[in-house]
């Protein structure tokens, strides 16, 4: 068994100072997100989504960020999935980006809601046909007996929609996470990490505070 006590990396890439930060966290996110893309990190738009249903047991999974702006962060999912049920029960969630190759993390907390059907339609028809079929095939989070059953269903749907456009599945679409708090974390030497939290104020401005590591 590996000695986990001895597994340790020193974070030396860069620090983070208040003067380095944009006043708007979305602009700061865009700066770091573009740097993660430029660094060729694996799935830089991969983000952990945490939700909690009425049983109060947190659930996490990785989803893909598909757009973001001043309103929030958008991803897509099956509306009958476990996460969808938890979102319906409790419309509060958290997102986490782990850009460890740059010794960075971003944490986002806020409310979550469905986006418009028009926006979901636009994204669905921009997807490759295989992904469109996949949305129809998977009854997300339900128990299935085998992968072969899933593959057979894929071929069945593929044949069914072989002519013309694949129709939009009404049980599928996007969610937007509207941030209330956004934290930027930069690894530091001797575990003296730099952490800054943006908190949304009632007037729509953002208050910025440094947090202890």
Alpha-carbon distance of 124 to 136, in angstroms, equals: 11
Handedness of CA 39, 42, 46, 47 (dihedral sign): negative
Alpha-carbon distance of 209 to 202, in angstroms, equals: 16
Catalytic residue among 17, 18, 191, 210: 191
Alpha-carbon distance of 210 to 213, in angstroms, equals: 9
Per the CB < 8 A criterion, the answer to whether 103 and 186 are in contact is: yes
- In the residue annotation, 18 being an active-site residue is answered as no
What is the Cβ-side half-sphere exposure of residue 81, based on CA atoms within 13 angstroms? 21
Cα 52 versus chain centre, distance: 15
The residues assigned a catalytic role are 191
């Amino acid at each position: 068994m590996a000695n986990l006590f001895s597994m340790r990396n020193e974070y030396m890439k860069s620090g983070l100072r208040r003067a380095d930060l944009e006043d708007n966290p979305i602009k700061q996110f865009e700066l770091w997100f573009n740097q993660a893309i430029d660094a060729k990190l694996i799935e830089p738009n991969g983000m952990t989504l945490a939700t909690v249903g009425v049983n109060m047991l947190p659930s996490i999974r990785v989803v893909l960020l598909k757009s973001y702006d001043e309103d929030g962060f958008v991803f897509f999912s099956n509306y009958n999935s476990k996460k969808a049920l938890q979102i319906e029960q409790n419309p509060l969630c958290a997102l986490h980006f782990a850009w460890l190759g740059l010794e960075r993390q971003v944490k986002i907390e806020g409310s979550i809601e469905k986006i418009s059907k028009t926006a979901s339609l636009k994204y669905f028809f921009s997807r490759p046909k295989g992904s469109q079929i996949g949305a129809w095939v998977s009854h997300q989070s339900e128990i299935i007996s085998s992968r072969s059953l899933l593959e057979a269903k894929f071929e069945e749907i593929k044949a069914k929609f072989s002519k013309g456009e694949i129709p939009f599945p009404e049980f599928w679409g996007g969610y937007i996470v509207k941030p209330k708090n956004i934290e930027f974390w930069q690894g530091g030497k001797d575990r003296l990490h730099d952490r800054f939290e943006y908190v949304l104020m009632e007037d729509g401005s953002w208050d910025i505070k440094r947090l202890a590591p």
